[in-house]
Amino acid sequence: MPALDYPPPLQRMIAQIKALPGLGPRSAERLVLWLMQDGGRIEPLIDSLSEITSRVQACDECGFFIERDQECGLCHSTKRNHRLICVVEQAADVLRLERSGAFMGLYHVLGGKLSPLDNITPEDLRIEALLDRVKALQIEEVILAVGSDVEGEATASYLSDLLRAEGLAISRLAQGMPAGGGLDHVDELTLYQALNGRRRM
């Protein structure tokens, strides 16, 4: 007699949920059983998943999300500086920078960072599109707002080599102490960079 298990459709559902980022086998099983507990829990999920598939897409220019057939509020804003472009890894980074209120130029979402170990090469990122925009928009400064981890540094250095030929200013986010934190909360590399980048008062 085979060991008892959930019916095959439930098993497949659990396997799929388990493959999502941030979910393990136990939380996947718990989530699926929770969905099954009440007939009304699954329908709204299906509706929303269908809706984001049919109605949300990436802007051809900046790569941030837009609703299908609508203009990108970032790329078409007349209040933003169209000579300044900020390069980020993910769409979520655009929101983070917008919330800081410190930037009023254009954005360019790369869709990741260079990572030979994960087989992510320049062709996998929106680098070609970045070069096209830089030329078409006569960009004066590119801010490389990628992460400061190894892959982020490699991506910044690759892009900066590529962009230097265009004769424009290239900058990187400052590294240093996080706001509101003491020296005891910061690792040595951050302290080293905060010292090196110190500013006169």
Q: Note the residues at the interface with a copy of itself (CB under 8 A).
A: 1, 3-10, 12-13, 16, 20-23, 27, 29-37, 39, 42-46, 48-53, 55-56, 58, 65-67, 70, 73-74, 79, 90-92, 94-95, 98-99, 111
Minimum distance, C-beta of residue 98 to a copy of itself, in the bound complex (Å)? 4
Amino acid at position 36, single letter: M
Minimum distance, C-beta of residue 193 to a copy of itself, in the bound complex (Å)? 26
Whichever of 103 and 168 has its CB closer to a copy of itself, that residue is 103
Minimum distance, C-beta of residue 150 to a copy of itself, in the bound complex (Å)? 21
The answer to whether residues 110 and 130 touch, using CB atoms and an 8 Å cutoff, is yes
Minimum distance, C-beta of residue 30 to a copy of itself, in the bound complex (Å)? 6
Whichever of 72 and 156 has its CB closer to a copy of itself, that residue is 72
Whichever of 92 and 169 has its CB closer to a copy of itself, that residue is 92
Minimum distance, C-beta of residue 58 to a copy of itself, in the bound complex (Å)? 8
**Cα→Cα distances 182→81, 176, 178, Å:** 35, 12, 9
CA distance 131 to 15: 41
**Alpha-helix runs per DSSP H in the chain:** 8-18, 25-37, 42-55, 91-100, 127-136, 150-164, 188-196
Residues near 161 by Cβ (< 8 Å), separated by ≥ 6?
none
Whichever of 51 and 132 has its CB closer to a copy of itself, that residue is 51
Whichever of 5 and 184 has its CB closer to a copy of itself, that residue is 5
The b-or-e profile of 79-107 (16+ CB within 10 A means b, else e) is: ebeeebbbbbbbbebbeebeeeeebebbb
At residue 96, φ and ψ (nearest 5 deg) are: -60, -45
Residue 197 CA, distance from chain mean position: 26
CA distance 9 to 121: 37
Minimum distance, C-beta of residue 195 to a copy of itself, in the bound complex (Å)? 31
Whichever of 11 and 138 has its CB closer to a copy of itself, that residue is 11
